[in-house]
Structure 1
């Protein structure tokens, strides 16, 4: 079966944040750690949720493990404002979501969710008839993992 290309949903055309994150994954996959450093701010804020010992991306970003230790194969990528949300899974062993925040083309914040369903909500008020409301704008796509029981979290931005 041929490997599926990441599904891309972009709210604005030619999203440079998405291009930056795609280039980051490409550099990680080929082991080009020097290139990776060019995409990430020196004071990167990192947050992780998942089983102990599964800090695979942070280990790769800091050079503590090689690109062969764990393969991040993005299955979907959504660019929304300053955020790029990337999702992937490897069989039933590993499901992950990465939320990258970029400012001026540089990754400033990274949130990694490993074996955790994620919903992202925008808490900025949106004018609606009769008042204000917030909106959910991204949710994990269970696909072949739909029957798997994983903890769920909400990321409010």
Structure 2
């Protein structure tokens, strides 16, 4: 008797592996590996102060002459929900929390949404139990993931909802 994993678990695992490989390549500053993982027409969304566009500067090399220290993306957690992979990390020295929401398509990252010092709640649209057709009235949006912002108690940060 063979044990088989459900397709969703295999897809989540593969997609999480792609994102983990990207962070490993970023930490090594391995441009060739990064180019193989990211789509050439990567769609990029950014939510945060312009001074926090560390990933853009890292990938484009546009901030090489800056006197500010390099920013390292070391995820503290990575979770996959189908093609969406969420990574969260913190830079306590700068009091910065970040979340990346990656979209993986056929083993390549095609989209990234970056959030800095933002509380993010991820929901999944699904039809209510027992409903075969879906209308706005029957939609149920359970929370499947929430960011955690250490050391942010008592500080106001924007809160966003990402629907997948």
Answer whether TM exceeds 0.5 for this pair.
yes
Of 9, 12, 15, which aligns to 1:12? Answer: 9
Whichever structure has more strand as a proportion of its residues is: 1
Q: For 1:127-138, list aligned pairs within 5 A.
A: 127-128=128-129, 131-138=138-145
- Write out per-residue CA displacement over residues 55-112 of structure 1, whole angstroms, 9 at most, x where no aligned residue: 111222223346x610111111101111110001111611000000000000000000
CA-atom RMSD, angstroms? 2.0
Distance (Å, rounded) in 1 between the aligned partners of 2:141 and 2:156: 27
Q: What TM-score does the superposition give when structure 2 sets the normalisation length?
A: 0.79
Note the residue ranges of structure 2 that are not aligned, 5 or more in a row: 1-7, 132-137
Counting only pairs closer than 5 Å after superposition, residues 27-38 of structure 1 correspond to structure 2 as 27-38=25-36
Aligned counterpart in structure 2 of residue 61 of structure 1, from 41, 59, 62 = 59
Map of 1:86 onto structure 2:
87
Q: Deviations over 1:42-62 (max 9, x none)?
A: 111100001121111122222
Quote the Cα distance in structure 2 between the aligned partners of 1:146 and 1:85.
22
Conserved? CA contact 1:97–1:113, under 8 Å: yes
Alpha-carbon distance in structure 2 between the residues aligned to 1:40 and 1:111: 13
Alignment partners' CA distance in 2, 1:126 and 1:29 = 41
Instruction: Report the CA distance shift for 1:63/1:35 in structure 2 as closer, same or farther (over 3 A).
Output: farther
Contact 1:98 1:111 in 2 (8 A): yes
Change over 3 Å in CA distance of 1:65–1:16 after alignment to 2: farther
Distance 2:139 2:53 in 1: 38
Structure richer in helix, relative to its length: 2
Q: How many residues align?
A: 145
Q: Is the 8 A contact 1:74 1:88 kept in 2?
A: yes
CA distance in 1, matches of 2:41, 2:26: 19
